[in-house]
Amino acid sequence: MNLQGAMAKSSKAKKRRRKSTGFYDLNLLTEGTSHAERVALAVTSFELGYSGIAFNHVVKGSLSDAHACKSRCVDLSAIVSADPGVAQSAHFHRDVLGVPPARRSFRQYNRLTITIETAIQTNAVNAANPVIRSYDIIAVRPTSQKAFDQACAHLEVDLICLDFLHRMPLRLSASSVQAAVQRGVFFEISFSGVLQDVKARRELFANTQILKGLTKGQNIIFTSGARRPMELRGPNDVANLATLLGLSREAAKLSITRNCEVVIVNCLSRKTTYKSAVIVEKIQDWELSKPDDTWFEVPKFWDPLSVSKSEEDQFLLPEKMKSMKALEITTDREKCLGEQEGKVDQVSEQGLNSAECFESIPQDDEDNFLSIDFTNAVKSPSGGDVKAEREMLAKLSKHLGKSKKRKR
């Protein structure tokens, strides 16, 4: 490759890195939690700036019809209507994180994690199973070497999650890991409980280094595995934790942004399409009157991250309210103090023009506001009460001195 081609490839890579996407946490545990706790998890994730979450249902053993997905998405519209501060916090964090407008909606997904150990449990994991099709994201947790190798090579799953907080009962082989990467399967690293246990931190660091070396930093996502809102962390905190565990800054950000979107697109394409390529939809009677050319057009606003055409799976963040202006207070204290000092030095012996001196003092800043009685002050340079003028100058100089000390 010549130098020009290498530079063009490098510039394209930089543009891809600059393009911001939404942030996702695809592992919020529902086991042992109530509906109120799930609502609190969804609201906290929404406020922290996440664009999507997944409620994780863990199944140990064989699947049955009782394990079918029955949970519904949390209705955030009623919560935002009752407490506008939730939307304000979400707007603030999305602006700080640089989330583009296309990812401002908040989506909720249902995830199924199956613990597999034997061949019978492994064979039950297939796309034709109606229990599996009732969920959006499918993950497996292999606990034996044979189950891990089969999950990497053959199983139609989206995620392979391992217990990185303890000594693993299997070996991560390069051939199996690379087979999963080539098939588009992602590995999940959950940091739940790592902040409380020193031994868990040591195991997580060692296991992450092994996985990073085998995958070369690709196809890795980070999740919280939270059961309570206090266990959630902001997107930047998760990215910083990933860098501490050995990932590069780019790979750390991809582990909670682009990689999660790829997982969602893959699982929804498997769920809503035929052979992950063709969407078959029944044409309604009123659509038969349209021209034949419009039947096969791709919708202009087609969203690959949406579970269905219904709006139950996503909540659109409302526009900024008027009360948000109260959060955008901009005070230029240095400029104000400089102007006041210059005007005090330029006061002539004949008198003080009070209108010019106090023109730029911010009236809405309680710390900088100075109340002075102008009743006996000088109204014109030609005459007035000199004593009142001196008192006013002394009060103004004292106020400016306090502001300088506070600034230091």
Q: Which residue has the higher pLDDT, 363 or 93?
A: 93
Confidence of residue 361 (pLDDT cuts 50, 70, 90): very low
202 and 118 belong to one structural domain: yes
Angle at Cα 359 formed by Cα 357 and Cα 363, nearest 5°?
A: 120
364 and 237 belong to one structural domain: no
Residue 302: what pLDDT?
47
**93 pLDDT more than 80:** yes
Q: What is the pLDDT of residues 180-189, one digit of tens each?
A: 999 999 999 9
400-404 long-range contacts, Cβ below 8 Å, gap at least 24? Answer: 400/337, 400/340, 400/341, 400/344, 403/333, 403/337, 403/368, 404/337
DSSP for 1-70, please give it: --HHHHHHHHHHHHHHHHS----EEEEEE-TT--HHHHHHHHHHHHHHT-SEEEEEEEEESS--GGGS--
166 and 266 belong to one structural domain: yes
The helix (H) or strand (E) run that includes residue 109 is: strand 106-116
**How far apart are alpha carbons 311 and 306 in whole angstroms?**
9
Is residue 236 domain-resident? yes
Per-residue pLDDT averaged across 106-132, rounded? 88
Round the average pLDDT of the chain to a whole number and report it.
Answer: 75
305 and 379 belong to one structural domain: no
Confidence of residue 9 (pLDDT cuts 50, 70, 90): low
338 and 253 belong to one structural domain: no
Q: Which of 323, 356, 391 is the last residue in one of the domains? A: 323
Domain total for the chain?
Answer: 2
| Torsion (CA) 340, 345, 348, 354 in degrees, nearest 10 | 10
Token match 């309210």: residue?
321
CB atoms within 10 A of CB 296: 6
Range of the domain at 43: 16-279+300-323
What is the greatest pairwise CA distance in the chain?
102
306 and 354 belong to one structural domain: no
232 and 109 belong to one structural domain: yes
225 and 372 belong to one structural domain: no
Is residue 103 domain-resident? yes
Q: Which residue has the higher pLDDT, 286 or 399?
A: 399
354 and 313 belong to one structural domain: no
Is residue 115 domain-resident? yes
Is residue 295 domain-resident? no
Tell me if 178 sits within 8 A of 211, measured CB to CB.
Answer: no
222 and 348 belong to one structural domain: no
